[in-house]
Amino acid sequence: MQTPDDAELARAWRAGDRAAGQALVERHYDGIVRFFRTKAGAHADDLVQRVFLVVADPDKGFRGESSFRTYLFGVARNVLFAHYRGRTRDDRIDDDVSLRSVHDLAPGLSSVAAQRADERLLFDALQRIPIDIQMTLELFYWEDLSIPELAGVLEIPEGTVKSRLHRGRLLLEQAMERIAAPSEARESVRVQLGRWALQMQAAAHGDG
Protein backbone atom coordinates (compact mmCIF):
# COMPACT_ATOMS: atom_id res chain seq x y z
CA MET A 1 0.00 0.00 0.00
CA GLN A 2 1.37 3.40 -0.98
CA THR A 3 2.22 5.74 1.88
CA PRO A 4 -0.03 8.84 1.82
CA ASP A 5 1.78 12.07 1.02
CA ASP A 6 1.60 15.18 3.19
CA ALA A 7 -1.26 16.76 1.26
CA GLU A 8 -3.41 13.62 1.53
CA LEU A 9 -2.77 13.34 5.26
CA ALA A 10 -3.53 17.03 5.80
CA ARG A 11 -6.84 16.77 3.94
CA ALA A 12 -7.81 13.69 5.92
CA TRP A 13 -6.90 15.36 9.20
CA ARG A 14 -9.02 18.41 8.43
CA ALA A 15 -11.88 16.04 7.62
CA GLY A 16 -11.63 14.52 11.09
CA ASP A 17 -9.21 11.60 10.62
CA ARG A 18 -7.13 11.68 13.81
CA ALA A 19 -4.85 8.88 12.66
CA ALA A 20 -3.90 10.94 9.60
CA GLY A 21 -3.18 13.88 11.87
CA GLN A 22 -0.98 11.78 14.12
CA ALA A 23 0.95 10.46 11.13
CA LEU A 24 1.50 13.98 9.81
CA VAL A 25 2.65 15.29 13.18
CA GLU A 26 5.09 12.39 13.62
CA ARG A 27 6.49 12.97 10.14
CA HIS A 28 7.31 16.65 10.74
CA TYR A 29 7.52 16.98 14.51
CA ASP A 30 11.32 16.85 14.83
CA GLY A 31 11.84 19.55 12.22
CA ILE A 32 9.43 21.93 13.94
CA VAL A 33 11.05 21.24 17.31
CA ARG A 34 14.46 22.08 15.84
CA PHE A 35 13.02 25.26 14.36
CA PHE A 36 11.91 26.56 17.76
CA ARG A 37 14.72 25.20 19.94
CA THR A 38 17.23 27.58 18.35
CA LYS A 39 14.92 30.58 18.67
CA ALA A 40 12.57 30.15 21.63
CA GLY A 41 14.35 27.99 24.23
CA ALA A 42 12.00 26.93 27.03
CA HIS A 43 8.97 28.16 25.06
CA ALA A 44 9.68 25.73 22.20
CA ASP A 45 7.29 22.95 23.22
CA ASP A 46 4.36 25.34 23.61
CA LEU A 47 5.05 26.94 20.22
CA VAL A 48 5.29 23.53 18.54
CA GLN A 49 1.81 22.71 19.86
CA ARG A 50 0.47 26.02 18.57
CA VAL A 51 1.76 25.24 15.08
CA PHE A 52 -0.02 21.90 14.89
CA LEU A 53 -3.22 23.40 16.31
CA VAL A 54 -3.20 25.81 13.37
CA VAL A 55 -2.57 22.94 10.96
CA ALA A 56 -5.55 21.04 12.40
CA ASP A 57 -7.89 24.06 12.16
CA PRO A 58 -10.32 23.58 9.24
CA ASP A 59 -10.30 27.33 8.57
CA LYS A 60 -6.52 27.79 8.69
CA GLY A 61 -5.19 24.42 7.58
CA PHE A 62 -3.23 23.41 4.50
CA ARG A 63 -4.93 24.33 1.21
CA GLY A 64 -2.48 22.71 -1.19
CA GLU A 65 -1.25 26.02 -2.61
CA SER A 66 2.39 25.11 -1.84
CA SER A 67 4.31 22.11 -0.57
CA PHE A 68 3.20 21.09 2.90
CA ARG A 69 6.62 21.88 4.34
CA THR A 70 6.45 25.40 2.92
CA TYR A 71 3.07 25.86 4.56
CA LEU A 72 4.19 24.27 7.86
CA PHE A 73 7.35 26.33 8.31
CA GLY A 74 5.43 29.43 7.24
CA VAL A 75 3.01 28.76 10.10
CA ALA A 76 5.97 28.21 12.44
CA ARG A 77 7.48 31.55 11.40
CA ASN A 78 4.19 33.37 12.06
CA VAL A 79 3.79 31.66 15.44
CA LEU A 80 7.35 32.60 16.42
CA PHE A 81 6.90 36.25 15.47
CA ALA A 82 3.56 36.43 17.30
CA HIS A 83 5.27 34.95 20.36
CA TYR A 84 7.99 37.60 20.35
CA ARG A 85 5.59 40.46 19.71
CA GLY A 86 3.42 39.25 22.58
CA ARG A 87 6.20 38.97 25.14
CA THR A 88 8.22 42.07 24.23
CA ARG A 89 7.69 45.15 26.36
CA ASP A 90 10.81 46.98 25.20
CA ASP A 91 10.02 50.06 23.12
CA ARG A 92 13.40 49.67 21.42
CA ILE A 93 12.22 46.46 19.76
CA ASP A 94 10.71 47.29 16.39
CA ASP A 95 7.39 45.73 15.41
CA ASP A 96 9.24 43.93 12.63
CA VAL A 97 10.98 41.32 14.77
CA SER A 98 12.45 39.71 11.65
CA LEU A 99 15.10 42.45 11.68
CA ARG A 100 16.18 41.60 15.23
CA SER A 101 18.34 38.75 16.42
CA VAL A 102 17.40 36.09 18.95
CA HIS A 103 20.17 37.54 21.11
CA ASP A 104 18.25 40.86 21.15
CA LEU A 105 14.82 39.31 21.61
CA ALA A 106 15.67 36.61 24.16
CA PRO A 107 19.01 37.37 25.86
CA GLY A 108 20.54 34.38 27.59
CA LEU A 109 18.96 31.71 25.38
CA SER A 110 21.10 28.59 25.67
CA SER A 111 23.02 26.90 22.86
CA VAL A 112 20.37 24.15 22.84
CA ALA A 113 21.76 20.65 22.40
CA ALA A 114 25.20 21.66 21.19
CA GLN A 115 27.88 19.67 22.99
CA ARG A 116 31.07 20.52 21.11
CA ALA A 117 32.71 23.92 21.46
CA ASP A 118 32.48 24.60 17.71
CA GLU A 119 28.76 23.75 17.73
CA ARG A 120 28.13 26.11 20.65
CA LEU A 121 30.02 28.80 18.77
CA LEU A 122 27.87 28.23 15.67
CA PHE A 123 24.61 28.40 17.64
CA ASP A 124 25.72 31.49 19.53
CA ALA A 125 26.64 33.21 16.27
CA LEU A 126 23.35 32.21 14.60
CA GLN A 127 21.47 33.83 17.46
CA ARG A 128 23.31 37.12 16.86
CA ILE A 129 22.21 37.67 13.25
CA PRO A 130 18.73 38.87 12.14
CA ILE A 131 16.22 36.17 12.90
CA ASP A 132 14.89 35.88 9.34
CA ILE A 133 18.44 35.32 8.09
CA GLN A 134 19.07 32.78 10.85
CA MET A 135 15.86 31.07 9.75
CA THR A 136 16.95 31.05 6.10
CA LEU A 137 20.28 29.41 6.88
CA GLU A 138 18.80 26.81 9.21
CA LEU A 139 15.96 25.81 6.89
CA PHE A 140 18.32 25.57 3.92
CA TYR A 141 21.13 23.63 5.60
CA TRP A 142 19.34 21.69 8.32
CA GLU A 143 15.86 21.05 6.93
CA ASP A 144 16.96 20.84 3.28
CA LEU A 145 14.30 23.24 2.01
CA SER A 146 14.71 24.25 -1.62
CA ILE A 147 15.04 27.84 -2.82
CA PRO A 148 11.37 27.89 -4.01
CA GLU A 149 10.21 26.44 -0.67
CA LEU A 150 12.20 29.05 1.24
CA ALA A 151 10.72 31.79 -0.92
CA GLY A 152 7.26 30.57 0.10
CA VAL A 153 8.08 30.37 3.80
CA LEU A 154 9.69 33.81 3.91
CA GLU A 155 7.30 35.40 1.39
CA ILE A 156 10.11 36.82 -0.72
CA PRO A 157 11.29 36.26 -4.33
CA GLU A 158 13.65 33.37 -5.04
CA GLY A 159 16.42 35.78 -6.01
CA THR A 160 16.14 37.42 -2.61
CA VAL A 161 16.48 34.01 -0.95
CA LYS A 162 19.78 33.45 -2.76
CA SER A 163 21.02 36.90 -1.76
CA ARG A 164 19.95 36.27 1.82
CA LEU A 165 21.85 32.98 1.95
CA HIS A 166 25.00 34.71 0.73
CA ARG A 167 24.59 37.61 3.14
CA GLY A 168 23.72 35.22 5.95
CA ARG A 169 26.96 33.29 5.60
CA LEU A 170 28.92 36.56 5.70
CA LEU A 171 27.05 37.83 8.76
CA LEU A 172 27.46 34.49 10.49
CA GLU A 173 31.18 34.46 9.84
CA GLN A 174 31.48 38.00 11.21
CA ALA A 175 29.48 37.05 14.31
CA MET A 176 31.70 34.03 14.91
CA GLU A 177 34.82 36.16 14.61
CA ARG A 178 33.45 38.65 17.16
CA ILE A 179 32.73 36.07 19.84
CA ALA A 180 35.55 33.56 19.31
CA ALA A 181 39.30 33.42 19.35
CA PRO A 182 40.71 33.52 15.78
CA SER A 183 41.73 29.85 15.95
CA GLU A 184 38.16 28.82 16.80
CA ALA A 185 36.65 30.67 13.83
CA ARG A 186 39.04 29.45 11.14
CA GLU A 187 36.85 26.73 9.72
CA SER A 188 34.50 28.13 7.10
CA VAL A 189 30.89 28.82 7.99
CA ARG A 190 29.74 26.75 5.03
CA VAL A 191 31.70 23.72 6.27
CA GLN A 192 30.37 24.03 9.82
CA LEU A 193 26.77 24.42 8.68
CA GLY A 194 27.12 21.47 6.33
CA ARG A 195 28.70 19.19 8.92
CA TRP A 196 26.09 20.02 11.54
CA ALA A 197 23.35 19.42 8.96
CA LEU A 198 24.71 15.92 8.30
CA GLN A 199 24.84 15.20 12.03
CA MET A 200 21.25 16.31 12.51
CA GLN A 201 20.05 14.27 9.54
CA ALA A 202 21.85 11.18 10.84
CA ALA A 203 20.28 11.64 14.27
CA ALA A 204 16.83 12.03 12.70
CA HIS A 205 17.26 8.66 11.00
CA GLY A 206 18.57 6.95 14.11
CA ASP A 207 22.16 6.77 12.95
CA GLY A 208 23.69 9.17 15.48
Q: What's the DSSP call for residue 130?
A: B
* pLDDT > 90 fraction of the chain, expressed in percent and rounded: 37
Q: Which residues of 63-92 are buried (b: 16+ CB within 10 A; e: fewer)?
A: eeebbbbbbbbbbbbebbbebbeeebeeee
Higher pLDDT, 104 or 114: 104
Q: What's the pLDDT tens digit per position in 5-38? A: 988 888 888 788 889 989 998 999 999 999 998 8
Q: What is the pTM of this model?
A: 0.83
What was the pLDDT predicted at 200? Answer: 56
Domain annotation covers residue 57: yes
Domain annotation covers residue 193: yes
Domain count, the chain: 1
What was the pLDDT predicted at 177? Answer: 83
The candidate with the shortest Cα–Cα distance to 168, out of 197, 199, 190, 144, is 190
What was the pLDDT predicted at 123? Answer: 85
For residues 129 and 168, the answer to whether their CB atoms sit within 8 Å is yes
Q: What's the pLDDT tens digit per position in 56-76? A: 887 777 877 888 999 999 999
184 pLDDT more than 90: no
Domain annotation covers residue 1: no
Q: What is the mean pLDDT of residues 110-122?
A: 66
Structural domain boundaries enclosing 52 = 6-204
For residues 36 and 43, the answer to whether their CB atoms sit within 8 Å is yes
| CA 124/CA 111 separation, integer angstroms | 6
CATH assignment of the domain containing 118:
1.10.1740.10
CA distances to 63, 101, 151, 164 from 170, rounded to whole Å, are: 36, 15, 20, 10
Q: What's the pLDDT tens digit per position in 121-178? A: 888 889 999 999 999 999 998 899 999 999 999 999 999 999 999 999 999 888 888 8
191 pLDDT more than 90: no
Q: What is the mean pLDDT of residues 81-86?
A: 88
